[in-house]
A and B are shown apart, each in its own frame.
Chain A
């Protein structure tokens, strides 16, 4: 199984400031035949269902604000929230869909400082 490791486990950021989360996979998630990284990011608010934010490492899902961006390739990826808003308080997960079983990072809790 591909192991996904996120850091940090939690972070506190002032409103309007940048939050950065990293995700590392134990195997390469880049598929050369289509030049794509099989990596997604989700936002999970307490008591709600997870919400897809980004896929193919950097493609925003429908309706996701442009303050959310993703980067990285191969085994190292980053989720950036450029200007933290109160509604961004949540746990964020990375997930690989390169192979089965699909696996997730342990989650990063983002709070307001």
Chain B
């Protein structure tokens, strides 16, 4: 069955970088954009951006441009999200998600989440 499995929790100092991975299985990895979102305590869900594994094309949220990079390794069916110059406000649960067989932007499959704590 379709699964998105993310890497484990991270604790980082302000100014550091974090790289979260998301391994897809049970579907054609290169055929679907990988979106990244985060749930910031008290602020709800935020869309961070998306990447096309087939083309490598990316679309980032304006608020994160310059700090975030989304990549993938199609041989490993794995997507990566790197966030640099971390701030305490980046403390959140980070999710990868796809719109499988639905309109892009309807997130029907999610990873289990990766807690990133910055302090």
Residue ranges of A at the interface with B (Cβ–Cβ < 8 Å): 38, 40, 42, 44, 49-52, 55, 61-62, 93, 95, 97, 100-107
Contacts and interface: CB of A to CB of B under 8 A. Distances in A.
Interface of B: 35, 39, 43-47, 59, 61-62, 95, 102-108, 110-113
Contacts of A95: 45, 105, 107
Contacts of A101: 47, 61-62
B61 A107 contact: no
Given A61-B108, A101-B61, A101-B62, A50 B45 contact: yes
Contacts of B111: 49
A52 B108 contact: yes
A100 B45 CA distance: 15
A102 B108 CA distance: 14
Given A50-B45, A103-B47, A105-B44, A97 B62 contact: no
A72 to B, nearest CB: 17
Contacts of B35: 102
Contact of B106 (A44, A52, A103, A106): A52
A50 B107 CA distance: 9
A104 B46 contact: yes
Contacts of A100: 59, 105
Given A95-B45, A104-B45, 6 more contacts: A38-B103, A44-B39, A62-B108, A103-B47, A104-B47, A106-B44
A110 to B, nearest CB: 15
